[in-house]
Amino acid sequence: MTERDAYIQKMEAEQREATARFREIEAQAELADSEDSLDVLTGARAFNDDVNRELQALRRADERDWDRLKAGADKARSRFREHLDKAGSRWAGLREGYQRQREAELKELGAQMDGWIAAHKRSRAEDSLLTREELDFITRGLKTSGEMLKNLRHARGHAWKTARDQYEANWRELQERSRIIRSDGAQEEAGASPP
């Protein structure tokens, strides 16, 4: 193998490596958030094409054009690598920004989910507490009202009027407290529901 063939093979191998790197960067084009980012990619593609043209010319070059074409190929390869480094840095920044944004979104959603779970658990606990409280209160109130009704049945005259007034007051309190318990529970439940 001549020195010239070895040089061309070396350049072709380096170019394949650089092209593979370019393809990796190109595959991330959907991360581009601006025309500038896409321009970097387009520029890298153009420089890649320049290197490939220079390599083709080197393969066909005769002895007197060899040095000139070799210098052109080296210059094209150097420009492509510089542009590839620039594109690689840009895409690394875009990937990092994308990842940070998605991590922040994921954390935010996780925090929302934690909030929803906590609100759900609190709501269930409050519902359970309100139900017990309401049942206990209503049970006591109904028992008291039942006893008052018994007293009302046996009362006469002024005692009947007093027993009736006590019964009515007890019944109103029972209904009012029951309404308050229900409305407080509904308000807390509405406040705890996820947005």
pLDDT value at 129 more than 70: no
What pLDDT score was predicted for residue 185? 58
pLDDT value at 194 more than 60: no
Lowest mean pLDDT among 39-43, 113-117, 174-178: 39-43
More confident residue, 7 or 1: 7
Phi, psi of 130 (to 5 degrees): -65, -40
What pLDDT score was predicted for residue 36? 61
Name the nearest CA neighbour of 25 among 111, 85, 110.
85
The continuous run of DSSP H or E covering 100 comes out as helix 63-154
- pTM, two decimals, is 0.47
Average pLDDT over residues 36-60: 76
pLDDT value at 195 more than 50: no
- Give helix 35-60 / helix 3-27 axis angle, nearest 10°: 160
Give the pLDDT band of residue 104 (cuts 50, 70, 90): confident
In terms of residues, how long is the chain?
195
Average pLDDT over residues 151-162: 76
Average pLDDT over residues 61-87: 83
Average pLDDT over residues 88-109: 77
Lowest mean pLDDT among 12-16, 72-76, 182-186: 182-186
What pLDDT score was predicted for residue 152? 74
Q: What percent of the chain has pLDDT over 70?
A: 78
Average pLDDT over residues 50-72: 82
Across the chain, what does the average pLDDT equal?
Answer: 77
Name the nearest CA neighbour of 50 among 82, 89, 27, 2.
82
The neighbour count for residue 117, using CB atoms within 10 Å, is 11
What pLDDT score was predicted for residue 60? 82
Read off the DSSP letter of residue 157.
T
Q: By the 8 A CB rule, do 23 and 84 touch?
A: no
